[in-house]
Amino acid sequence: MSPAPLPVTIDDIRAAAAALEGQVARTPIIPAPLLSGILGCDLFLKLETLQRTGSFKDRGAYNKLRSLDKAERKRGVVAMSAGNHAQGVAYHATRLGIPSTIVMPTFTPFTKVAKTEGYGAKVVLVGQTLDDSMSHARKLVDEEKLTLIHPYDDPYIIAGQGTAGLEILADVPDLDDLVVPIGGGGLISGIAIAARSINPSIRITGVEAALYASMSDAVAGRTGVYGGATIAEGIAVKSPGVLTRKIIAALVDDIVTVDETVLEQGVHQLMTQQKLVAEGAGAAGVAGLLANPERFAGRKVGVVVCGGNIDPRILASILMRGLVRNGQIARLRIEIEDVPGVLSTIAGIIGATGGNIIETYHQRLFFQIPVKRADIDVVVETRDRAHVDVIIGKLMESGYPAKLLGDVGA
């Protein structure tokens, strides 16, 4: 018996590509030599961050909106999104003269709310989860007869996202692997259909945030509890799509999950090694490689960097935490005699090793130490962890017991 047909075909994706020509960007896929060296593979990055609204969502949004008839366009549309789908729908709906209402969870970063409003949409903040927001969006469909533009579980959306797969294989046809982030599954579903049609032997891997492993559980027939604070809010989906689940089960080889620390490292590595800004969900593909380097060692790998709309405060925090994690900023606790001139001596020792003191905290009152002694906490800028060890060694040699205080994790 032949397998049941999938809800989207390669012809649907090719039709979407024709419709999207001149309407959305044909984004580049670039070699990533520095990350390739770190990961031990030949890595290429598909830069969907260069779309007009900063993510791949432009593709599916335009493809769906252009399919609406005159009456549907006049009544308007509603979408639910944590940000990127919202911006894609808002921008292209305004271009096409279609009124749009976007329902967003209350945790959505301010930058995404502001940008969505800036593209001409009416934004409604409702709910603590994407599911709460979707319930309100469906209520507006019933009450105001708006057309729902689903973020992932729609054939037009899936076909639109799949156009990225056509571009990837046209530009780098001999890839061994494709790695794609998964939330609801629209992007990887479309890309998988396109990629399998062009290169049936290519290996396709999805990457989920560990806190929201809903698609991998659904495909495996498991149920789970999903939730928690994640920097990958764009893929924080508790209820994966029905259509996308069917496609992923048929065409995707494996789904890996990554925790928050590795997602942070993905953002940090893209920024520091390749000078690319990605949001947590956008960096999930690279995080998947960081967590499983042996899976991709020696292979030619394409990764979709699917979005760049990160809150600047989150980005700043990730970069600083990355410096701490790499030993480039260290917090030392040094025990001293509480007498004049000691601070100057400590500063001289650290300076002589090439360390740069950023902050100092002189602790006298709240530690169980003799009254004539004190602890100094010193935040020092260093070259790396080996340099930190040199500084601690010099302090110890000079009679000042010192230790490295806990950082943000391995």
Domains of the chain, start order = 10-51+160-321 (3.40.50.1100), 57-148 (3.40.50.1100), 328-404 (3.30.70.260)
- 367 pLDDT tier (thresholds 50, 70, 90): low
- 374 pLDDT tier (thresholds 50, 70, 90): confident
* Cβ–Cβ under 8 Å, residues 369 and 375: yes
The string of pLDDT tens digits covering residues 289-313 is 999 999 999 999 999 999 999 988 9
SS3 254: strand
Name the packing angle between helices 242-251 and 155-171 (round to 10°): 30
The string of pLDDT tens digits covering residues 197-242 is 999 999 999 999 999 999 999 999 999 999 898 999 889 888 889 9
Mean pLDDT of the chain: 92
* Cβ–Cβ under 8 Å, residues 47 and 91: no
Q: Model pTM?
A: 0.88
Percent of the chain at pLDDT > 70 equals: 96
Name the least confident of 61-70, 267-276, 317-326, 368-377. 368-377
Name the least confident of 104-108, 267-271, 371-375. 371-375
- 255 pLDDT tier (thresholds 50, 70, 90): very high
Distance of CA 396 to the CA centre of its chain: 42
Pairing of strands 100-104, 203-209: unpaired
Q: Fill in the DSSP letter of residue 52.
A: T
Compute φ and ψ for 125, nearest 5 degrees. Answer: -95, 115
